[in-house]
Structure 1
Amino acid sequence: MTPLVLLSGWGCDARLWQPLAGHWSEALAVSAPDWPGYGARSPLANPGSLAQMAKEMADELTADAIWVGWSLGGLLAAALLDHLPAPRALVLIGMGGDFCHEEGISTAELRAFQRAFARAPDTTHRYFLRWQLRGEPDPRAAHRQLRELLDDHGGVDRNTLAAGLDQLAELDNGDRLVGAPCPIWRVAGERDPLLAPARRESADHRLSHAGHCPMLSQPASLAACLAGIASAVEPSP
């Protein structure tokens, strides 16, 4: 069986992946560990430290696995290629080499969001959970589903959230991905409002009738897509 490690993005713990539970191929061994500071996992002493994060996640992010990072989770997973043995493959869902793009979410928009979070973290967090769903076929239904999954909160440490916004603003994996030590696959919802159109169109797989959160709106399609990628990746020597 191929290990598949699912990594959530900003503001959502691993419960986000639960809608895929009934759709997995039997050829996959799926796990969804929380990042430090999410769910019941203790935050790092320095939530922005990639070295500390790599040490904390080393037992889950193994070289025999395919790492699947959604949104900030993809940005972090790509950055951790400098700190951990390379996986069998890295799949980025709803993420490019960096986050900000003038035709997607601009640097100015993200900075404004950071200021809003500093003033009112809980309100801003809840707003983001709803706002990211704009591209789904039924945003209201997706928001209800997300609230039910997360018990109306994301289960996240505030300092970890603040560090995550800094990482969205600052991390640039462009060179890492060009010279990556493993295959890179990009997956995008065809209506993802957080991705620039060029990044959506250049993805290796585009999911129909999906936005930034295909695990909510198109779980069967996303699970099938990931199973197809796993079958195409050469096993580790």
Structure 2
Amino acid sequence: MTTLVLLSGWGIDTGIWQPLADHWPREITVTTPDWPGYGGRSPLAIDGNREALAAAMADVLPPDAIWVGWSLGGLLAAALLAHLPPPRGLVQLGIGERFCHPEGVSTQALAAFRRAFARDPGATLAHFRRWQLGGEPDPRGAHRHLQALVDDDVEAVTLATGLGWLAELDVTRPLAEAPCPVRRLVGRRDPLLAPVTIAGADRVLEGTGHCPMLTRPAALAEALVVLSHDMTASRQSSAGEVTG
């Protein structure tokens, strides 16, 4: 039995994962915990503090599971590898070592986005949700689906903390020193990723962008299962080499 822990991204609660519910094989167990500040959970008492985040997530990020972090969730999951017992594996979905990239979302673009957010958080969140759907085959339909799945009631302080993480987190070193197998999964048409990040992924989903859970849920679930089996085999092989 394999357990997957699915972790959402900026401005999105765990409702985003609902379309995958009918596509998991029997041997897969799935949990979808919310980050602090989402799904009715209290925001972090210390904004941007990784130790506080680790303490808040310790009970829902077990070491006997595979963590799947989407977008900002992938950066946070990688950052938490240094603060929590390591999982069986980590899948970064729709994200690289950092959010900003000269050929993707530039630091200047994110800075402008943060200024817009400070003026009008609600409108800026709505804009981002449409922006990230630009690579989907039917962006308008995907947006209607997204709106039906997720909650808009997220406090501005939580969103601002997340934007700070998007600007600051660079998990190049944590990934290089990861105590578990790591795999990257992306959509071919992801408008938030640089071409080099897409080209370097372990698996690429065709016909989708940043939100494959909305437009290609069956393909996403299948890819996650394949990567999970691959990481489990890799971990067992490494353990065998050590003991042998």
SS of alignment partner, residue 45 of structure 1: coil
Taking the aligned partners of 1:72 and 1:39, their CA distance within structure 2 comes to 16
Tell me whether 1:110 sits opposite 2:117 in the alignment. Answer: no
Greater helix fraction, Structure 1 or Structure 2: 2
**Identity %, equivalent residues:** 58
CA contact (8 A) 2:182 2:231 kept: no
Point out where structure 1 has 5 or more consecutive residues left out of the alignment: none
Amino acid corresponding to residue 127 of structure 1 in structure 2: H
Amino acid corresponding to residue 85 of structure 1 in structure 2: P
Q: What does residue 188 of structure 1 align with?
A: 186
Q: Residue by residue, what CA displacement relative to the aligned partner does 1:173-221 show, whole Å, maximum 9, x if unpaired?
A: 0111111111110000000010000100110010010100010111000
Deviation at 1:233, TM superposition (A): 2.3
SS of alignment partner, residue 86 of structure 2: coil
Q: What does residue 132 of structure 1 align with?
A: 132
Matches within 5 A, 1:75-154: 75-151=75-151, 153=152
Q: What does residue 167 of structure 2 align with?
A: 169
Taking the aligned partners of 2:113 and 2:43, their CA distance within structure 1 comes to 22
SS of alignment partner, residue 172 of structure 1: coil
Q: Residue by residue, what CA displacement relative to the aligned partner does 1:105-130 show, whole Å, maximum 9, x if unpaired?
A: 00000000000000000110111111
TM-score (norm 1): 0.97
CA contact (8 A) 1:189 1:210 kept: yes
Q: What does residue 53 of structure 1 align with?
A: 53
Aligned with 1:220 (options 218, 221, 241):
218
Taking the aligned partners of 1:191 and 1:233, their CA distance within structure 2 comes to 25
Amino acid corresponding to residue 53 of structure 1 in structure 2: L
Deviation at 1:33, TM superposition (A): 0.2
CA contact (8 A) 1:3 1:64 kept: yes
Matches within 5 A, 1:61-72: 61-72=61-72
Aligned length: 235
TM-score (norm 2): 0.94
Aligned with 2:155 (options 145, 153, 157):
157
Amino acid corresponding to residue 187 of structure 1 in structure 2: L
SS of alignment partner, residue 60 of structure 2: coil
SS of alignment partner, residue 111 of structure 1: helix
Amino acid corresponding to residue 169 of structure 1 in structure 2: A
Q: What does residue 31 of structure 2 align with?
A: 31
Q: CA RMSD in A?
A: 1.1
SS of alignment partner, residue 199 of structure 1: helix
Deviation at 1:48, TM superposition (A): 1.0
SS of alignment partner, residue 4 of structure 1: strand
